[in-house]
Structure 1
Amino acid sequence: MTDSRLPVTLLTGFLGAGKSTLLNKILSQTGKEKIAVIVNEFGEVGLDHDLIEATDEEVVLLSSGCLCCSMRDDLSKTLADLIERRTRGTLEFDRVVIETTGLADPAPIRQTLLRDYYLARATRMDGVVTMVDASNGKATLDAQFEAVSQAATADLLLISKTDIATPKATSALRRRLEKLNPTAEILNVAEAVEDPKRLWGLSALRRNADATQALNWLTRAPSEAAPSDPLVNLSGFAPTKLVRKFSPHDARIESASITLETPLEDSVFDHWLDTLVALKGPDLLRVKGIVFLKGLKTPFVFHGVQHIFDRPEPLNNWPDGDTTSRIVVIARDMTNPELQRSLDMLRATAAPKQKEVFPGWKDLEARSQS
């Protein structure tokens, strides 16, 4: 089954991290996908005037075929208008990038795409890309907890300005980011500019995702420099004692994970998720996983931010013989032992039926067979 929903990428990052510079370089490349960029104001993007082909009141058309749209109203209306103009054939683009300002929290934008009925059916979150300034990133992380949250919720972390930062400072920043976000890939900006496709397809919540993509979405993919089993860190990573050496802000972020080799009872999974959301909903930065439930032929991927969850998607091409559920939780102001105790609830053999807080999983088998 193909996924016709429009992929949306959220580009966020610290003040001065270089988001506009990255966008200019990506948008200037011809022969690539056509991208629609949504920003608060055109002036904040600093578009290269050599790229501009034509403008109207709300949209700047670029010579590469991409376009830039100023968010004159709220995000829902701006995005819906772009999609409607695309449907009518007056605008042509393949994906959307939303550039946030400064230290914006990605969670409200994700929730907008899920809560709006029209957007929830027409779009899907393709990934969150967070840029980090190698020169000033340490100071920003020390001073701004919002910046720490941005890094912890990313699917991809891009380190910029490595040309003006010392190799020692860049390496220290990379190690810090690895502790804050054990699941995100970390690249230098130059790598993304050279191959823009590395910015896309970051989420496994799409109908054509394969097993490798789903596993890499849960854990940092092994590299040539550090080859390893991609599941090796699924055992309660990012312990507090390692994080605290960086900053008190970092210590507010905790990560934990669990693997379960046999399929779960649906009541156990519902009870665990219901309890976690009820007790710690506002502090849940990411909850994601690959889950096998008894009675379903295929696993599914799920993802939530705070108390809002994406529609789960079945992994129809999962290899035979592997029935291991893998779940990752990244939270703020929640201790690692608390997270581990929460995940240990999944080891129970039975749980009382709860109000369904994870709508959509019951129709997974029907969709997996369609």
Structure 2
Amino acid sequence: MFPIPVSVLTGFLGAGKTTLLNRLLKDPALTDAAVIINEFGDVAIDHLLVEKASDGIIELSDGCLCCTVRGELVDTLADLVDRLQDGRIKRLSRVIIETTGLADPAPVLQSIMGHPVLVQAFRLDGVITLVDAVNGGATLDNHVEAVKQVAVADRILMGKLDLQDDAAALEALQARIRRINPNAMIIDTAAPRASVASLLECGLYDPVTKTADVRRWLGEASDHGDDGHDHDHAGHDHQHDHHDDHDHSHHRHDDRVRSFSLVHDGPVPFSAISTFLDLLQSTQGDKLLRMKGIIELAEDPARPLVIHGVQKILHPPARLPSWPDARRGTRLVLITSDMPEDYARRLFAAITNQAAVDTPDRAAVADNPLAIAGFRS
């Protein structure tokens, strides 16, 4: 029964979340799911029979639930768990949380990942962000929240494509989205293949094969060759210096967000990776929008450690029973806002004993491994 997968649906005002939610609610795949929305009035639930409505919950005829956020999101999620445990809800297969259009998604993710009780009942399956194909560029220009919504997404859903008749503008928008978030899959919400599964199921575990799909989860499959390997072991950073649309200089919000990877071939001691995470989150946590990673531990290299964090909140690490493919080592994907990339790289190099680019004395690193990261012991 637990943990229940949670999908966070975000996107700026007018991006099409209401249209998508109505479509999702009609899909049999979401039977026994719960959709948490801000207000029922924001989503016109007029195509399905309503069985009953009470205490802020609407039960639809197919078994799907719609809940409003009453007070804190934590309270709404806790109420769902209570209803499931005492039998008022027979089954809960998934929870979809719709954020407000102006929302920074980080606090929502923290509510799921940081609460000591809820983290036992729920697991973050993924973040799905809708982007308006017509007005998306202007929205990204004017609202940093919209940039963050794109940056933390596992899936980018392009809405209103049928209304966008400027192919060049659409291509520029999609190129811009890939610069902000090169790891997310971009999907046309109206495409025939855009099933509920393709839109929502973006967690670590593939529901079809029942195995961990690390490449997809880390976003490597969407931006690399078929082998999925990153051959630049300084990290396959996707820097935002590609000026392939003429007005990139005006995208001031985009330049604040960076996505890059830290890669180390070989096992890492648990104490080293723990030190790295503690220091990064304590010193740069507010700038760390999201982090995913798989780690080969020196103490138990056969069972990889999986980590997932949002700002200063780290989801309880999980252990996979074995490596899902031949590739081992440590790969961390960081999505940051205003964080000095070099700072994270130096810190990671220090704890993995890699040579930093401008470290003149490797022996000095061993004596004082945090010095090159900008620390003084």
Q: Same fold (TM over 0.5)?
A: yes
Once the two structures are TM-superposed, the CA of residue 31 in structure 1 deviates from its matched residue by: 5.7
1:51-200 alignment, distance < 5 Å: 51-91=49-89, 92-166=91-165, 167-191=167-191, 194-200=194-200
Amino acid at match of 1:38: I
User: Normalised by the size of structure 2, how large is the TM-score?
Assistant: 0.84
| More off after superposition, 13-22 vs 255-264 | 255-264
Deviations 1:30-61 (A, max 9, x none): 36542211112100122224443432242112
Counterpart secondary structure, 2:28: coil
Paired positions, count = 349
Deviations 1:162-187 (A, max 9, x none): 00013322222111111111221111
From the superposition, tell whether residues 351 and 35 of structure 1 become closer, same or farther in structure 2 (CA, over 3 Å).
farther
Give yes or no for the alignment of 1:41 onto 2:46.
no
**CA RMSD for the aligned pairs?**
2.8
1:150 is displaced (CA, Å) by: 0.9
> Which blocks of at least 5 consecutive residues in structure 2 are unaligned?
355-365, 371-377
CA distance in 2, matches of 1:248, 1:168: 21
Q: 2:275 aligns with which of 238, 263, 271?
A: 271
Q: Deviations over 1:114-141 (max 9, x none)?
A: 3322211111111111111001100000
Is 1:216 the equivalent of 2:205?
no
Moved over 4 A (4+): 205-209, 243-246, 349-354
**CA drift at 1:204:** 1.9
Please tell me the residue identity of whatever aligns with 2:278: D
Q: Equivalent of 1:304, from 306, 309, 322?
A: 309
Cα shift at 1:266: 2.2
Partner of 2:190: helix, strand, or coil?
A: helix
Share of identical aligned residues, percent?
A: 39
Q: 1:60 to 1:265 in 2, by over 3 A?
A: same
Please state whether the residue corresponding to 1:190 is helix, strand or coil: coil
Segment of structure 1 superposing worse, 213-222 or 158-167:
213-222
User: Aligned to 2:41, what secondary structure does the other structure show?
Assistant: helix
Maintained 8 Å contact 1:72/1:78: yes
Matched, 1:324 2:325: no
How many Å apart are 1:156 and its aligned residue?
Answer: 1.0
The SS at the match of 1:111 is: helix
Contact 1:287 1:329 in 2 (8 A): yes
Aligned-pair distance for 1:83?
Answer: 1.8
3-state secondary structure, aligned to 1:240: coil
Q: What is the TM-score normalised by the length of structure 1?
A: 0.85
Say whether the 8 Å CA contact 2:51–2:59 is kept in structure 1: yes
**Cα pair distance change 1:265/1:72, threshold 3 Å:** closer
